[in-house]
Amino acid sequence: MRTFVLSRRWWQHPALRIAGGAVGFRVVSAILAGITNVVFPDYQDQHFTMFATPSVFWDAFTRYDSGNYYQIARNGFHYTPDGRDTIAYFPVYPLLMRYVGRAFGRSPGDYYLGGIVVAWAAFVVAMVTLYYLARLDLTARRSERVVLLATIFPFAFFFGVVYTESTYLMFALLAFYAFRTRRWLAGGVCGAFCTASRVNGIFIWPALAWIAWRTVEDTTRDRVKALVGLALVPCGIGAYSLFVYQLTAIPGGSHNPFEWAAAIQRWGYYPGGSPWSAPVRLVELLVTHPYAYLAGERMAPYDALNGLTGLLFIASVPFVWRRLGTAYGLFMLANLWLPLSSGVFEGVGRYCAVMFPCFIWLATLRSRTTTALAVLFALTYTLCLALFTNVYPIF
């Protein structure tokens, strides 16, 4: 009887329960994607598969940028002057994909499998960390709602495929949790991995600096540790920039440590413009002639999905700022500014998927509201997963 009680309490531990739920949801989502691949034809041929022959189940994990991560994992980064190069992609995820994939073998499918394992493992760690981060502000029940909303968010399917979202989210959450609990050095290391995971990773620094300024203890030892932790955060992007400088130091090369930024532009993204021009234009089109817009332009339905998601997250920033504090508000503002300032909506949905402060705030709303949101999220998640799986331009 005593053994049974101890076993039951062991299973009821929130970390284990959340981890088990995260894995279970990824399995269900993968099965749903496989069924979608069987029932519906692909919108277009993306010209690569996970294995040598097409697979209705496994190919659902490998769409669009997955092929670029595979190229980096197998062949390393590539640079040609003024070319569309893989240096536009940051190194943490594809390198993890490489070393985990090599544990399975050296075939293309093994590298992709490594990417899936990394994405799933990072997602599990991220959801457990999100729960404990939310617990710093909310009750246990509401913290579990945070995890639920983040898991079934319409664009959260990116956490289970060969993309960087889950890895970036894991390191961002670990850095926030470490800084909020004054584990400055651990937070700095996690922050460094975050800044080397995605181009917008560096925007974690202002939020972490605010947390350090507001919570550091009034001792020289704690202040020094906080400063060292903050100094570690940009080392990730700094190390990658140093690598890019060495890679571009060839005849005809740019010899530029920030050539990755120029490579991003050569892929068609030009951040730094007005962040409100594209959202204003989208609202104008949807208000004045929605049917003509949605039916007349190929990308309109997908831009609308991404753009409306971005607008909802913009609207949530004041509420997040007021309820959870400046650090979380700064994190959301910075991460919304970068994609919206490019003037295109491509990828905005998945950029929003990692903005965890919004999910923490949503969990503070009334129970009926969060239940309605969960239903809406789940329905839209299924739609977005089906579109991505069948190679529609939602990426």
55 by Cβ neighbours in 10 Å (0-12 / 13-18 / 19+) ranks as middle
> Which stretch of 265-269, 290-294, 314-318 has the lowest confidence by average pLDDT?
265-269
| Radius of gyration, CA atoms only, the chain | 21
- Residue 154 half-sphere exposure toward CB, CA atoms < 13 A: 22
Q: Residues 170-201: pLDDT tens digits? A: 999 999 999 999 999 999 999 999 999 999 99
pLDDT (0 to 100) of residue 1: 45
Secondary structure of residue 227 in the 3-state scheme: helix
Inform me whether the pLDDT recorded for 315 exceeds 80: yes
Q: Residues 29-42: pLDDT tens digits? A: 999 999 999 999 99
| Percentage, residues of the chain above pLDDT 90 | 83
pLDDT (0 to 100) of residue 4: 45
8 pLDDT band, cuts 50/70/90, is low
270 pLDDT band, cuts 50/70/90, is confident
254 pLDDT band, cuts 50/70/90, is confident
Inform me whether the pLDDT recorded for 334 exceeds 60: yes
Inform me whether the pLDDT recorded for 6 exceeds 70: no
Give the number of other Cβ atoms within 10 Å of residue 206's Cβ.
Answer: 15
Whether residue 244 contacts residue 258, with contact meaning beta carbons closer than 8 Å, is answered with yes
Inform me whether the pLDDT recorded for 7 exceeds 60: no
pLDDT (0 to 100) of residue 349: 95
Inform me whether the pLDDT recorded for 347 exceeds 70: yes
Q: State how far the Cα of 395 lies from the Cα of 393, in Å rounded to an integer.
A: 6
pLDDT (0 to 100) of residue 13: 86
The string of DSSP codes covering 107-136 is SHHHHHHHHHHHHHHHHHHHHHHHHHHHHT
Whether residue 198 contacts residue 157, with contact meaning beta carbons closer than 8 Å, is answered with no
| Single pTM value for the model | 0.94
Q: What are phi and psi of 355, to 5 degrees?
A: -85, 75
- Mean pLDDT (the chain) is 93
| Percentage, residues of the chain above pLDDT 70 | 97
The string of DSSP codes covering 286-329 is HHH-HHHHHHH-TTHHHHHHHHHHHHHHHHHHHHHHHHH-HHHH
113 pLDDT band, cuts 50/70/90, is very high
